[in-house]
Amino acid sequence: MTSLPEFRLETHFSKWEFKARYHLTASDAESMSMKDLLSMATPREREEFEELWLGYTETSSAPDLRTSIASTYQNRKIEDILYFAGASEGIFAANSVLLDKDSHAIVVTPNYQSHETLPLAICDATGVPLAMAFV
């Protein structure tokens, strides 16, 4: 079996994530307990959460979510909102639209590997390492 290349972002995180004074490379929200999260909810929001369906939604995404997102912009309808089945699909779509064979992508490393491998499948790409001076 062919071995996959090292997932350098996870290697970087495993070394620094819980040692760095300020974690500026996180791609997730601040962690909190469900109790803390729900303490900020209104009674109606708590009820909605308690009734929340955790199964799959429509392939074209949840209409109420697209409506809510569209409402944060002037003159936008739910048809204007792009949706993807996870971040990888969005990353693929962005690379497919922004890059062509004559492009040259500059990619900060370490990162999620698709940020390098997808551009490399389309054009030349150069990885630029994160400066370790801030660690």
106 and 123 in contact (C-beta within 8 Å)?
A: no
pLDDT tens digits, 6-42? 777 778 778 877 887 777 766 677 788 989 999 999 9
The residue type of 114 is S
pLDDT-derived band at 132, boundaries 50, 70, 90: low
pLDDT tens digits, 79-116? 898 888 777 888 889 999 999 999 999 988 877 777 88
